[in-house]
Amino acid sequence: MDKSKSFYNAKNKLAKYDRATFDLMSVAAEFNDIYNENFTLPDMVYLLRKSFKERLTHAKVLGENKMRSNTDPSSGFCIISSYLIYSLTGGDNVWELQGTSLHWWLYHKQTGTIFDITHTQFSNKDIQEIYKLGRPVKQLQTDETFYDVLQDKMHKLAQRAGLE
């Protein structure tokens, strides 16, 4: 592929990612009762998805020196960002953390709505299949090492996104 096509494809992917970010912010705005003392849920979505596009975020949070080429910027952040939102906005009182071995997301207990800040890493068809396989996550309560690593990455992501 020549450089001009490569540049156009990269620019087109980022434009699609940015449109999806604003769509997610609209969905987040429907949860008008979900916020913390400093940020609304749409604010969190915007700041997190913006940080996913930064190479330094990938390095600090995921330990990757290079961003994954030809992948959605949110790839690799599903559990960390879902758990961060969960922690900042009411935890078990509001959300159920759900997942599979491949992907994690939030389930709003009151409305029964799936809220997935990193869904854009999958096609619409694939993500619907993943949701069907999802189950409540219990690993956080039973695996202390897993929980400690997740907490560390969550704090690094919060700092990179400007949420801490």
Residue 83's nearest CA partner among 135, 161, 147, 19 is 147
* pLDDT, tens digit (0-9, with 9 covering 90-100), for 15-72: 889 999 999 999 999 987 777 889 999 999 999 999 999 999 999 999 987 776 778 8
- What mean pLDDT do residues 111-126 have? 95
Domain boundaries, the chain: 3-161
The helix/strand/coil state of 125 is helix
**pLDDT interval class at 143 (50, 70, 90):** confident
Model pTM score: 0.89
Neighbours of 53 (CB within 10 A): 15
